[in-house]
Structure formats: structure tokens, C-alpha cells
């Protein structure tokens, strides 16, 4: 094969592979990305029930209820709007009332969310960034102050 | 005095880095061998200075010198010694110092062990390395000084983040950094080659051991990090497609591609531009990872305290080195002469395909990691890209690599025989079918697991077809076979093992589909069935630790009534930080593991817990060890080196066979 | 000592640059390295032929390629030269710039005079040389082992207070009282620590402590102040004001006086001499007022143009129930301020108000 032919083969296969990868990514982006909303944004944008989402905010004080062995319900709030979350499973170590939380799952109705995973996997001074941003928008969170309900010494 | 000596040594290392960055390049420009010769001794002295600095900081941590902010914030006098030591790099400032230490270790190693290198290339490489280390020392001194002092010194520190008080911290970051930073030296080699205009097959040979070394450490570092997450997060996950993990996977993919393309460049003088580009890319991705993790763009347990000023500084470093190297690349690349010719179906062709697939898979990870950040920056829309995205993009692109890997090893240089290669792999494919049938019959379960183990078994067997084909030609005696096995180049064995390691890891991954998970409330006396085993909770109690209090569930693992292991899964509460960590109880039985973790305490005294049976799971990490072992075999191949000794004996001397 | 070490390190660093400049430079290894590499490449090809990784025909071509590369690289060999001037410039720059840069930057960043502070040594240092934190840690450890050492608690409590660790101070005082019984001072200090720990709120527990102090020593100023503060915080402002003002009368120059004055002003009371007088026992108060009134009268005799003064004097006499003097003062005032219609009107208004007018 000539040098030119070789180069063409090379370029064609490179384009082929990259094309496949790009097509896969475009396809995956259509179905597999999950939007993140705070409770106020959720109320405002009102995505259709059944949409897969992440929501984040503070766990409302006094809202955590355990039903049976594994079913838990709690309210995520940014102090302006609330979303009630139903979840079946184990809560992470750092899940506490008044602390930041991110839940991933499906919206079942306005202000009603069914989570299939709940994240709070970091230490107590850490506020998930998404949650911090959502709260900042509502004027609840101030980086210079201790976090709301933080029980730091 | 020790502390201040360490501080001064670091400042002095910066001054010396400036000298090392400037003088050899001036010498190169003027063709002055004396100036070029300064590169090596300054690199070694710079290493000594940074080492002094690192030792001083370590001493301060071990001796609980609370006059250092860094020690106050990350240590506690009651902390066990091992965590006092690992705490040195368990924080932003200290980990950056470790980063720089490894940078200069690589510089010093090149200075010490690459005497056979042409002195211009060596001078340019070490000068570029000094640019990098100088930039990072400046970063440390200006934004993250671990030697910042406090007066008067408090009497107690705030303790290390309990999540980091683990043997994993002692091992994972140093390994990972050796890998990450190891690619700095290949970067420096590439930039040095571009500066000297000396991009040829010999260059590939000089750079190869360093690429291998970095790749080995990165492989081990990623595996170790994944195992740490597996046992410390308490729910048995080991890879989350978390941006921080992706940040380490991207350089690994680029580095793996580099390792292969450098072979083509060395043997055939082809793919030169591409190889140089990969060397730049691998380290650029390392820098990108550092930026993502340390700038506060991402928040995770890895980011420590984030500070926008640091982010901007690292971004500047990133832009300078990536931009600078690409500019050099654009300037020099057109001067390259075309190299050896090969047919599409050939060893070279297969390696080109390998490179294409590896970089494409790297690109999918890159897009999946950065797209959410870019989208947020431009539209303020927040999205998360998780496992489903990567399974759908990375998976299909990586699959052909797995399938073609054994075949590629059987193709000849310049022109290969694809059909012949396929015939030689019949046995491997048959082995895959048998394994899939047997395991499918035993476990049933998801099709993906069965297909996965099939490919894995084919891969493991197929990886050795080439070397075994060389050893067992016809009916031969054991001794002949042995002498042939020994006579084969170690790099051939290395490649076989590294490829087989990929298969072994894949086997472990595929088998996760057969795992058993039980989530329940545990009380003393409970018995849970997990796969072929029974897990019995004997007692739950609270025990004091050195700087924590632990709730422990004493648990027995039984097989057919006989006790095979005792586990103590625990939750630890650290009062200084008001934090709880989960300590899973894990035992490896055969290749699988029983994994018990506690996730909470209930008012009635029972403990929320999870019990898993994970068949073959240990293979995931064993595969990585095998890959690294393959790398080590390759590295130990004396033919890889152009030794001083050989040159001393005379150029005409035959390399040892 | 530390500077000797710095000098040594600097010397080593500079030497690392100087050494290769002084040493006779090596000849280029490039050519040798290229040849060595060619050998390796060719033997590698031979090995690959043996392993069947390349066909013999292709191997021959590959060998030719390698040889061509060797020749090409030999053509590229560059000229080399060593210039003594350049060496001298480099050496001088290294000798001057490396120490200048490192010492300059270190001067900006470092603390050369601050010795190491390893914890163990700090805890073992002789008491005189021990820093506060270390001494404290030592006492804490001692107290953890001997929780009944009242003297230890009594030493450590004020230190905690000074460090702002009010909670710990309160705990220490509680222990002192537990072991040694309350004195006014201890109880009051205990109360103060509790108050500080509650960010300035006098908690009921703190109030009880202050009251206990007052039982031992009824005129303990600190305890009285805090009880008053408690009153103020619970809304009993009148009683608080009264207590503050009494404190001010007793010790107008006491170190705590400014704090009390601040409280009084906050409550809208007067904290000057008048307020002090108001706070006095009736008999004393009258005497004091009389003294003041006499002074005022004398002053107005000298300078009669002060309407405010006259008004005050008339009021004072009325308060002292000396209506005659009040009327006389009124008359004097009108005389002194004759011609000032507005002033006279005001005086008349006052007279009507006090019921002493015409």
C-alpha cells in the first residue's frame, strides 16, 4: 500500500472510531443525564412527573419519619419551598436533620419525590456544592457564616 | 529549627529550579556542553532539598508540632503514629509537597540513570522538568504553604478527617501521585525532544521505562483508591464514575495509549508525532485532574479546603504548560520525517487501532466529566452524568480493545496475518465458552455477567498464546520449554501478563452481577444467608479507640456450620470532628468476599447493616496487580536500557541476549 | 545555628550549579548513543524474526530503515563550543542570584527565630519556661488524673476565662465549689463563667450562683452587677437601673464603673452625679442635694444670666420642700433676667407648674 493510501486508511479509521464515540455520546446524553434542582427551582420549572432528577437542599428539622424497617420519608427544603421525599433503603452516615442532602430519583407529583439514592457522603463541614448553590439562590446560605443548623464547636 | 530548615530548603529548591530551568536551555541554544551539564547535578540537589523539606514536615507531624497551621488542622496528639505520618499528605498543602517531591524524584532519577542519553536531550528534559517543579513549588509557597506558623502554638490539633484515618491513605496517594507525576517526565521528554528537534526511535526507547514506571504506579494507585472506596464507603461500590476518579482514569488511558504507540515509534520509527502528542496529553490530563480536584470546581473528599485563589493559580500552570507544549508541538511537528511503512493489518496497524480506541474512550470520559461543568458555567443548568452515561459510551468503545487485544499480539510487524492470528486464538475462544457455560450453569444470572466472564477468560488465555506458542512448538521436553521460557524477552512476558491482568479484572467486574445483597436490622443472635455462607451476629458492643469510640458487631461467617471467619464491622465516632465512619468487616473466601457493614444504630439497640456475598470480587484488584506485575517484568528487561556499562565496553559490543 | 544550616544548604545548592562548570565537560555522547541504539534496533529485529513477529523479507527492509536513520542522525550532529566568559557569567549569576532569591523569598515567608514546638518537649519544659498552652495541658492532664485537686482547678479556671474557654472555666469553678465550698468570690466567678459561656445571658443557674455569693458577702459588687444584669435581661428594668446606680454611687471610680455606666445609659437612666445622688439613701441624698443646691445658688449669684440654672434651682428648692426659698429664687431670677421676656415667661410657667407662682 502506498504512503498516501496508508494515510487515508488511518484517517478514515480514526474518523470512524471518533464518529462512533461521538454518536454514542450524543445518544447517551439524550437519556442519561440527570438535572439537579433545588426545591424552589423544582416548583418553578415543574418538570413532568416521571422525570429522573436530583434534588438537593436541607433536611427539614423534624421531618424525618421512619415507616417500618426500611421506608423513610423526609422533607427537603431551601426554607422557601419544600419537597417531600420517600426513600426505601439505608441512609448515609452523615444524613441529619438540618444538614445538606442530595437525593436522586423520580418525581411522582408536584412536590412529591421518590428517591432511589440519598447522598451525604462527606464530613460535617461539607455542604454539597449543588445544594450550597441552590440555597445561595434563596439567600439561606452564606459561606462566611457557619452553615445553617451546623453543630460545629 | 527543623521546621524552618524545611521551609528554607523548599524556598531554596525553587531558586535552584529556576537555575535548572534556565542554564541548561541557554547551554543548549549556544551548544555549550558545560552549561548543559548543570542540569543533572541541579536536579539531584533539588531533589535533596525538597526531600529535606518533606522530612521536616513529616517530623512536625510526627512530633505534633502545633506551631504549624498544617499540623493543627490535620493532626491530633492521640492519633496513631501511622496516621500521623500519612496525615502529612492527607491534606492539601502536604499532598502538594508530596506531589513536588515526586516531581523532583523523577528528575533526579533521570539525572542519575540516563547517563547514556544524548546530553542535549537530557539537558532539555531536565530543564522542562524544572519548569514544572518550579511552578508547583511557587504554587505551594504562595498559596498553600505547609510551613505557615502560628504563635502561640495551641496544645492540640483538630485531628485528621476520620475518613482519611485509614491505611488506604498511607498507600493510595503516594502510588497515585507516582503515576500522575510520573507522566511529567514523559511530558518533559516530549518537550525536550521538541526543543532539541530530536524526535526519533531512540527517543522512544529512552522514554519507555519512565512511561512504564508511571503507568505501573498509576495502575496500582487507581486500583488502591478503588479498593479503599470499596471497603470504606460501606456499601461495596468500587467505582462511581465520580469526576475525581475520572480524573485519574483519563491519564491512565492516555498513558496506556502512549505505552503502545511508543513501542511502534521505537521499533518502526513511525507514529512519532502521535506519540509526542500522547506524551503531552497524558500529563496535561494529570494537570487537569489536579486542577479539577484542587480548585474547588468539584467538591469531594479529595478536595480538602478549596480556595479560589489556588484554583486560579493551578489554572495558570495548566494553561502555561499545555499551551506552551502545544505551541512547541505545532512549531516542531512539521519538521518530522515520515517513518517506517506498514500495512493496515500488521502489528503497527493493530497498535494504531488500540491507540484510536483508547483515546476515543478517554474522550468519552473527558466529555462526560467536563460537560456538566461547562454546561453549568454557560447556562447555570446543573446536571449530573453518572454510570449510565459511561456504561453506554465508554463500554462500547472499550469492548473492541478487549476483543482485539490477544489478536494484536499475534500480528507481525509491517504485515500481519489476521486469519492466522484468529486460528491461533481458537483455543482461547473455546476456553471462554467453556468458562461461560460452567459459570452460567452454576450462577445463572444476568447475561452481561456470562458474556463478561466469557470475554475475560478468552482474554486471559489469549494473552499467553503468543508466549506459549513460542515455548511449546512441538512435543518438547520440560527443560527445553523452561529454557525457552526464560530465553523469551521479559517484555514479551510483561505484555502477556499485563493483558491477562485486564482479563482478570474484567472477570471480577463481570461477576459482580452474581453478588448477593441483604439490607437489614441486625441484632445479636441474627443469622443471615449470603450466597454459600451464613453470617451470624454474636454480639454488639461499644468499645473505645485511641481517638474514637466504636460500635462493633462481632460477626461469624459460617460455611456448612463450620466457622470460617470472624468479622468486626464497626461504626466509629470521632468526637474531635463530630464524625462517624463505617468500618466494613471483610473476609476473602476463595476469590469472593463476604462484606458486612453497619450503617446506623436504631433506638431499640439494633444496628442497620448490610451483608454482601461478592463472588470473584477480589479479581478486580488482583487484575490490576497482575497488570502492574507485567509492567515490572517489562521494566526489568535489560534490553530496554541503553546502559552506561555497555557503552563503556564499546559500542560494538553485542547486547546481552 | 539556624543560619549556619541555611548557609550550608545554600552552599550545596550553588555548588550543584558550579560543579559542572568547573569540571572538564564530557564529550558528546550523542553519536555513541545513536550507534548503540542502532545495534539494539538491529538485534531487536533479529529477535523478532526468530519469534516470527516479522517476516525475513520485511526484516531486511526494517534493518535498512534503521541504518538510514543512523546515517541521517550523524549528519545532524551540531557544533559545540565552551566559552570561558559564558562559564564565568553563569557561575557569578549562580553565586549571586540563588542566595539572593532564596534568602529574599524566605525573609518574606519564613520565621527563622521561631523554634520548633514538638509537643512532648513543650510538656516537659521547666515550669518557668513553659508556654501557657503547654502548662495548661499539663495541669489538665493532672486534673484528669486527680479530679479532687481544688487548688489545681482554682489555678486553671481564670486561665480558661482569659482564653475565652468559659465553659471549661465554669466547670473548673464548679469543681472548686464542690470541693472547697463557696466563697463569694468563687460563686461569683462561677456565675460569671456560666454567663460568658451563655454568650452574656445570665442563666438562672448563673443567677443562683451570684445570689449565693451575695449571701456570703452582701456587697460583692460583681455579684450585684450580674444580678442586676439578670433583672435587666428578664425585663425588670427598674430594679436593674436602681441597682446599677447604687453601684455607681459606691464606686464611681471602680474599674468596673464604665461597664455599669454603659448599662445605665442603655436603660435610659442618667449615669452622672445626679443619678448617683438619686441612688443614695434618703438622708444622705438630701444632704448631698442641699450641698449641690447651695453651690448652684452661689454660682447664680455671681452669674445671673443662666436661665437653665435658675430653673433647676427653683425645682431643687421645691423638691426639698423649701417653698420660701423657691419663691425667693424665682424673684431673684426675674430680677437677673429682666428684659428677657421669653425667660420670664418660662419662669412663670415653672412657677405655675410647681404651684408657687403668684
How far CA A113 is from CA of A39, A92, A109, B385, C53, in Å, comes to 11, 18, 7, 20, 61
CB contact under 8 A, B267 and C41: yes
Taking contacts as CB-CB distances below 8 angstroms, the residues of chain B near C46 are none
Best CA proximity match to C319, nearest among C358, C285, C357, C268: C285
- Which residue's entry shows cell 496506556? B256
How many C-beta neighbours within 10 Å does residue B530 have? Answer: 19
Best CA proximity match to B231, nearest among B623, B546, B632, B567: B567
Taking contacts as CB-CB distances below 8 angstroms, the residues of chain A near B521 are 69
C249 phi and psi angles, rounded to 5 deg = -65, -40
CB contact under 8 A, C62 and B40: no
Q: Is the peptide bond before B629 cis (omega within 30 degrees of 0)?
A: no
Q: Choose the final residue of a domain: C230, C245, C278.
A: C278
Best mutation site among C6, C46, C51, C53 for testing chain B: the one with the most B CBs within 10 Å? Answer: C53
Best CA proximity match to B216, nearest among B556, B636, B624, B646: B624
Q: Are B594 and B557 in contact (CB under 8 A)?
A: yes
Task: Please measure the distance between the N-terminal and C-terminal CA atoms of chain A and give it in whole angstroms.
Answer: 74
CB contact under 8 A, B655 and C102: no
Q: Are residues C37 and C103 in the same domain?
A: yes
Average pLDDT (C87-114) is: 91
* Residue ranges per structural domain of chain B: 2-393, 425-513+626-639, 516-614
Residue of A nearest to B383 (CA): A35
As a whole number of angstroms, the distance between CA B577 and CA B547 comes to 10
Which candidate from A90, A94, A130 shows the least CB-CB separation from B610? A90
As a whole number of angstroms, the distance between CA A141 and CA B452 comes to 47
Domain assignment of residue C60, yes or no = yes
Domain assignment of residue C122, yes or no = no
How many C-beta neighbours within 10 Å does residue A139 have? Answer: 10
Residue of B nearest to C18 (CA): B38
As a whole number of angstroms, the distance between CA B111 and CA B124 comes to 12
Domain assignment of residue C124, yes or no = no
Minimum distance, in Å, between the CA of residue C126 and any CA atom of chain B: 16
Taking contacts as CB-CB distances below 8 angstroms, the residues of chain C near B269 are 65-66, 69
Output the pLDDT for position B342.
80
CB contact under 8 A, B364 and A124: no
Best CA proximity match to C120, nearest among C107, C106, C134: C134
Q: Are B10 and B53 in contact (CB under 8 A)?
A: yes
Which candidate from A29, A93, A126 shows the least CB-CB separation from B299? A126
What dotted CATH number matches A35-137? 2.40.50.140
Best CA proximity match to B367, nearest among A18, A144, C52: A18
C128 pLDDT tier (thresholds 50, 70, 90): low
Query: What grid cell was written down for C221?
Result: 459588687
- Name the burial class of residue C301, with classes exposed (0-12), middle (13-18) and buried (19+) by CB atoms within 10 angstroms of its CB: exposed
Give the single-character DSSP code of A125.
Answer: T
Q: The complex's ipTM?
A: 0.84
Average pLDDT (C39-47) is: 78
Taking contacts as CB-CB distances below 8 angstroms, the residues of chain B near C52 are 412
Per-residue pLDDT of chain A (153 residues; tens, 9 = 90+): 566 777 788 788 888 888 988 898 888 887 777 888 888 888 887 777 877 888 888 888 888 887 766 678 888 888 788 888 888 776 766 677 777 788 888 888 887 888 887 876 444 344 455 555 655 555 544 444 333 333 322
Output the pLDDT for position B652.
36
Q: Are residues C274 and C243 in the same domain?
A: yes
Chains C and B touch (3+ CB pairs under 8 A): yes
Three-state SS at B623: helix
Which H or E element spans position B545?
none
DSSP string, C340-358: -HHHHHHHHHHHHHHT---
Give the single-character DSSP code of C154.
Answer: H
Taking contacts as CB-CB distances below 8 angstroms, the residues of chain B near A69 are 520-521
Best mutation site among C16, C43, C131 for testing chain B: the one with the most B CBs within 10 Å? Answer: C16
Taking contacts as CB-CB distances below 8 angstroms, the residues of chain C near B60 are 116
Cα torsion angle, B54, B55, B59, B65, sign:
negative
Q: Are residues C53 and C100 in the same domain?
A: yes
Considering only residues B336 and C160, tell me which one the structure prediction assigns the higher pLDDT: C160
Output the pLDDT for position B651.
36
Output the pLDDT for position A137.
59
Residue of C nearest to B467 (CA): C51
Q: Are residues C247 and C298 in the same domain?
A: no
Which candidate from B367, B381, B392 shows the least CB-CB separation from A32? B392
> Which alpha helices (H) appear in B295-386, and where do they start and end?
308-332, 347-379
A107 phi and psi angles, rounded to 5 deg = -80, 125
Which H or E element spans position C312?
helix C307-319
- Which residue's entry shows cell 462517624? B580
Taking contacts as CB-CB distances below 8 angstroms, the residues of chain B near A27 are 392
Q: Are C98 and C14 in contact (CB under 8 A)?
A: yes
Minimum distance, in Å, between the CA of residue B608 and any CA atom of chain A: 8
* Residue ranges per structural domain of chain A: 1-32, 35-137
Query: What grid cell was written down for B575?
Result: 468526637
Minimum distance, in Å, between the CA of residue B319 and any CA atom of chain C: 25
Q: Are residues C228 and C95 in the same domain?
A: no
As a whole number of angstroms, the distance between CA A148 and CA A141 comes to 7
Domain assignment of residue C336, yes or no = yes
Output the pLDDT for position B132.
96
| B292 contact partners, CB below 8 Å, separation of at least 6 | B243, B244, B247, B298, B369
Task: Please measure the distance between the N-terminal and C-terminal CA atoms of chain C and give it in whole angstroms.
Answer: 95
Q: If you count them, how many residues does chain A have?
A: 153
Minimum distance, in Å, between the CA of residue A110 and any CA atom of chain B: 20
Residue of C nearest to B42 (CA): C16
Minimum distance, in Å, between the CA of residue B511 and any CA atom of chain C: 35
CB contact under 8 A, B639 and C112: no
CB contact under 8 A, A35 and B381: yes
Domain assignment of residue C46, yes or no = yes
B72–C contact, CB cutoff 8 A = no
Give the domain range for residue C56. Answer: 2-24+32-74+85-109
As a whole number of angstroms, the distance between CA C198 and CA C195 comes to 5
Helix (DSSP H) and strand (DSSP E) numbers for chain A = 3, 7
Output the pLDDT for position A129.
56
B65–C contact, CB cutoff 8 A = yes
As a whole number of angstroms, the distance between CA C61 and CA C63 comes to 5
Q: How many domains, in total, are found in chain C?
A: 3
Report chain A's mean pLDDT, rounded to a whole number.
Answer: 73
Output the pLDDT for position B498.
95
Q: Are residues C194 and C293 in the same domain?
A: no
Q: Are B465 and B406 in contact (CB under 8 A)?
A: yes
CB contact under 8 A, C19 and B347: no
Report chain C's mean pLDDT, rounded to a whole number.
Answer: 80
**Residues of A within an 8 Å Cβ radius of B:** 1, 3, 6, 9-10, 13-14, 17-18, 20-21, 24-25, 27-29, 31-37, 54, 69-70, 89-94, 104, 121-124, 126, 128-130, 133, 151-153
- Name the burial class of residue C154, with classes exposed (0-12), middle (13-18) and buried (19+) by CB atoms within 10 angstroms of its CB: middle
In C54-113, the residues whose Cβ lies within 8 Å of chain B are 54-55, 58, 61-62, 65-66, 69, 72-73, 78-83, 86-87, 90, 94, 97-99, 101-102, 105-106, 109-112
Which chains lie within 8 Å of chain B at 3 or more CB pairs, if any? Answer: A, C
As a whole number of angstroms, the distance between CA A96 and CA A110 comes to 24
Domain assignment of residue C183, yes or no = yes
Residues in chain B where the model's pLDDT stays below 70? 295-308, 474-475, 638-657
Q: Are residues C232 and C322 in the same domain?
A: no
Minimum distance, in Å, between the CA of residue B132 and any CA atom of chain A: 31
Best mutation site among A19, A27, A33 for testing chain B: the one with the most B CBs within 10 Å? Answer: A33
Q: Are residues C253 and C306 in the same domain?
A: no
Size of interface A-B (CB pairs under 8 A): 117
CB contact under 8 A, B579 and A124: yes
Which chains lie within 8 Å of chain C at 3 or more CB pairs, if any? Answer: B
Which candidate from B234, B388, B580 shows the least CB-CB separation from A32? B388
Question: Is residue C250's pLDDT more than 60?
Answer: yes
pLDDT tens, residue by residue, B181-204 = 999 999 999 999 999 887 888 888
Minimum distance, in Å, between the CA of residue B384 and any CA atom of chain A: 5
In B458-517, the residues whose Cβ lies within 8 Å of chain C are 470, 488-489, 492
Query: What grid cell was written down for C286?
Result: 438630701
Three-state SS at B132: helix
Amino acid at each position: 500500500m502506498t504512503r498516501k493510501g496508508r494515510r487515508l486508511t488511518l484517517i478514515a479509521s480514526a474518523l470512524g472510531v471518533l464518529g462512533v464515540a461521538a454518536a454514542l455520546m450524543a445518544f447517551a446524553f439524550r437519556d442519561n443525564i440527570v438535572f439537579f434542582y433545588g426545591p424552589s427551582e423544582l416548583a418553578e420549572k415543574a418538570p413532568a412527573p416521571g422525570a429522573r432528577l436530583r434534588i438537593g437542599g436541607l433536611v427539614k428539622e423534624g421531618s424525618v419519619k421512619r415507616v417500618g424497617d426500611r421506608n423513610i420519608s423526609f422533607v427537603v427544603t431551601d426554607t422557601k419551598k419544600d419537597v417531600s421525599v420517600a426513600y426505601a433503603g439505608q441512609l448515609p452516615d452523615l444524613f441529619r436533620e438540618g444538614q445538606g442532602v442530595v437525593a436522586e430519583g423520580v418525581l411522582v407529583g408536584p412536590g412529591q419525590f421518590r428517591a432511589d439514592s440519598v447522598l451525604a457522603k462527606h464530613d460535617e463541614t461539607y455542604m454539597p456544592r449543588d445544594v450550597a448553590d441552590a440555597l445561595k439562590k434563596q439567600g439561606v446560605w452564606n459561606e462566611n457564616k457557619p452553615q445553617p443548623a451546623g453543630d460545629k464547636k | 529549627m527543623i521546621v524552618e530548615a524545611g521551609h528554607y530548603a523548599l524556598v531554596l529548591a525553587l531558586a535552584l529550579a529556576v537555575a535548572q530551568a534556565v542554564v541548561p536551555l541557554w547551554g543548549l541554544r549556544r551548544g555549550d556542553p558545560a552549561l548543559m551539564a548543570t542540569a543533572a547535578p541541579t536536579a539531584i540537589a533539588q531533589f535533596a532539598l525538597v526531600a529535606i523539606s518533606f522530612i521536616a514536615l513529616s517530623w512536625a507531624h510526627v512530633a505534633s508540632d502545633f506551631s504549624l497551621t498544617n499540623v493543627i488542622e490535620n493532626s491530633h496528639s492521640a492519633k496513631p503514629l501511622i496516621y500521623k505520618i500519612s496525615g502529612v499528605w492527607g491534606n492539601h498543602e502536604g499532598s502538594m509537597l508530596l506531589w513536588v517531591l515526586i516531581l523532583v524524584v523523577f528528575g533526579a532519577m533521570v539525572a542519575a540513570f540516563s547517563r547514556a542519553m544524548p546530553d542535549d536531550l537530557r539537558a532539555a528534559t531536565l530543564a522542562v522538568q524544572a519548569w514544572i517543579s518550579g511552578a508547583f513549588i511557587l504554587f505551594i509557597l504562595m498559596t498553600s504553604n505547609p510551613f505557615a506558623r502560628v504563635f502561640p502554638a495551641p496544645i492540640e490539633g483538630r485531628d485528621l478527617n476520620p475518613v482519611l484515618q485509614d491505611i488506604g491513605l498511607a498507600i493510595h496517594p503516594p502510588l497515585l501521585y507516582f503515576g500522575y507525576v510520573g507522566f511529567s517526565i514523559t511530558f518533559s521528554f516530549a518537550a525536550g525532544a521538541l526543543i532539541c528537534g530530536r524526535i526519533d526511535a531512540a527517543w522512544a526507547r529512552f522514554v519507555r521505562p519512565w512511561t512504564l514506571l508511571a503507568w505501573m504506579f498509576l495502575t496500582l494507585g487507581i486500583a488502591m483508591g478503588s479498593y479503599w472506596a470499596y471497603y470504606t464507603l460501606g456499601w461495596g461500590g468500587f467505582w462511581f464514575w465520580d469526576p475525581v476518579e475520572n480524573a485519574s482514569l483519563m491519564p491512565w488511558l492516555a498513558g496506556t495509549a502512549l505505552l503502545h504507540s511508543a513501542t511502534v515509534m521505537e521499533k518502526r520509527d513511525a507514529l512519532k508525532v502521535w506519540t509526542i502528542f500522547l506524551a503531552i496529553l497524558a500529563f496535561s490530563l494529570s494537570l487537569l485532574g489536579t486542577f479539577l480536584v484542587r480548585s474547588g470546581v468539584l467538591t469531594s473528599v479529595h478536595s480538602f479546603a478549596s480556595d479560589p485563589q489556588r484554583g486560579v493559580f493551578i489554572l495558570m500552570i495548566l494553561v502555561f504548560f499545555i499551551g506552551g507544549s502545544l505551541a512547541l508541538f505545532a512549531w516542531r511537528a512539521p519538521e518530522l520525517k515520515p517513518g517506517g511503512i506498514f500495512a493496515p493489518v500488521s502489528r503497527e496497524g493493530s497498535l494504531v487501532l488500540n491507540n484510536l480506541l483508547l483515546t476515543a474512550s478517554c474522550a468519552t470520559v473527558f466529555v462526560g466529566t467536563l460537560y456538566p461543568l461547562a454546561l453549568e458555567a454557560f447556562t447555570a443548568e446543573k446536571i449530573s452524568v453518572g454510570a449510565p452515561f459511561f456504561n453506554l459510551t465508554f463500554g462500547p468503545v472499550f469492548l473492541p480493545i478487549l476483543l482485539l487485544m490477544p489478536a494484536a499480539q499475534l500480528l507481525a510487524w509491517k504485515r500481519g496475518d489476521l486469519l492466522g492470528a484468529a486460528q491461533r486464538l481458537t483455543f482461547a475462544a473455546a476456553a471462554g465458552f467453556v468458562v461461560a457455560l460452567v459459570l452460567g450453569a452454576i450462577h445463572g444470572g444476568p447475561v452481561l455477567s456470562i458474556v463478561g466472564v466469557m470475554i475475560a477468560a478468552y482474554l486471559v488465555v489469549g494473552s499467553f498464546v503468543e508466549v506459549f506458542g513460542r515455548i511449546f512448538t512441538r512435543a518438547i521436553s520440560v527443560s527445553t520449554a523452561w529454557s525457552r521460557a526464560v530465553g523469551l524477552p521479559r517484555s514479551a512476558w510483561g505484555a502477556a501478563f499485563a493483558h491477562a491482568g485486564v482479563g482478570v479484572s474484567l472477570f471480577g467486574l463481570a461477576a459482580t452481577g452474581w453478588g448477593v445483597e441483604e439490607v437489614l436490622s441486625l441484632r445479636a443472635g441474627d443469622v443471615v444467608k449470603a450466597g454459600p455462607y451464613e453470617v451470624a451476629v454474636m454480639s454488639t458492643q461499644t468499645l473505645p479507640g485511641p481517638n474514637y469510640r466504636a460500635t462493633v458487631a462481632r460477626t461469624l461467617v459460617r460455611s456448612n456450620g463450620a466457622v470460617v471467619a470472624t468479622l468486626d464491622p464497626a461504626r466509629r465516632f470521632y468526637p474531635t470532628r463530630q464524625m462517624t465512619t463505617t468500618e466494613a468487616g471483610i473476609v476473602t473466601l476463595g476469590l469472593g468476599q463476604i462484606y458486612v457493614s453497619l450503617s446506623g444504630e436504631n433506638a431499640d439497640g439494633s444496628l442497620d447493616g448490610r451483608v454482601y456475598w461478592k463472588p470473584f470480587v477480589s479479581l478486580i484488584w488482583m487484575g490490576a496487580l497482575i497488570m502492574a506485575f507485567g509492567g515490572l517484568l517489562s521494566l526489568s528487561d535489560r534490553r530496554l536500557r541503553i546502559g552506561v556499562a555497555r557503552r563503556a565496553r564499546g559500542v560494538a559490543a553485542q547486547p546481552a541476549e | 545555628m539556624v543560619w549556619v544550616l541555611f548557609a550550608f544548604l545554600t552552599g550545596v545548592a550553588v555548588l550543584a550549579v558550579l560543579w559542572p562548570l568547573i569540571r572538564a565537560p564530557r564529550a558528546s555522547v550523542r553519536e555513541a548513543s545513536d550507534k548503540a541504539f542502532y545495534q539494539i534496533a538491529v538485534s531487536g529485529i533479529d529477535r523478532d524474526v526468530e519469534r516470527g513477529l516479522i517476516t525475513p523479507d520485511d526484516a531486511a527492509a526494517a534493518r535498512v530503515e534503521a541504518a538510514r536513520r543512523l546515517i541521517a542522525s550523524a549528519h545532524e550532529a551540531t557544533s559545540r563550543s565552551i566559552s570561558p566568559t559564558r562559564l564565568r557569567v553563569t557561575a557569578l549569576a549562580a553565586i549571586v542570584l540563588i542566595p539572593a532569591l532564596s534568602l529574599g523569598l524566605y525573609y518574606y515567608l519564613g520565621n527563622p527565630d521561631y523554634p520548633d514546638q514538638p509537643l512532648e518537649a513543650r510538656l516537659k519544659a521547666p515550669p518557668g519556661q513553659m508556654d501557657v498552652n503547654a502548662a495548661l495541658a499539663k495541669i489538665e492532664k493532672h486534673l484528669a488524673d486527680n479530679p479532687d485537686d481544688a487548688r489545681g482547678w482554682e489555678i486553671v479556671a481564670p486561665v480558661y476565662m482569659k482564653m475565652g474557654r468559659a465553659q471549661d472555666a465554669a466547670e473548673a469553678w464548679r469543681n472548686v465549689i464542690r470541693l472547697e465550698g463557696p466563697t463569694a468570690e468563687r460563686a461569683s466567678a462561677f456565675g460569671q463563667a456560666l454567663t460568658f459561656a451563655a454568650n452574656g445571658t445570665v442563666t438562672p443557674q448563673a443567677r443562683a450562683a451570684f445570689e449565693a455569693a451575695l449571701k456570703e458577702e452582701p456587697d460583692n459588687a460583681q455579684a450585684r452587677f450580674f444580678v442586676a444584669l439578670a433583672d435587666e435581661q428578664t425585663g425588670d428594668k427598674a430594679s436593674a437601673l436602681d441597682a446599677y446606680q447604687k453601684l455607681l454611687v459606691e464606686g464611681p471610680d471602680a474599674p468596673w464603673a464604665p461597664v455599669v455606666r454603659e448599662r445605665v445609659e442603655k436603660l435610659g437612666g442618667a449615669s452622672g452625679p445626679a443619678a448617683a445622688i438619686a441612688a443614695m439613701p434618703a438622708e444622705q441624698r438630701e444632704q448631698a442635694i442641699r450641698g449641690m443646691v447651695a453651690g448652684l445658688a452661689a454660682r447664680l449669684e455671681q452669674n445671673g444670666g443662666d436661665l437653665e440654672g435658675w430653673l433647676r434651682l427653683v425645682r431643687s428648692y421645691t423638691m426639698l420642700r423649701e417653698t420660701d426659698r423657691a419663691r425667693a429664687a424665682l424673684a431673684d431670677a426675674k430680677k437677673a433676667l429682666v428684659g428677657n421676656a421669653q425667660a420670664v415667661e418660662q419662669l412663670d410657667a415653672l412657677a405655675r407648674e410647681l404651684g408657687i407662682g403668684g
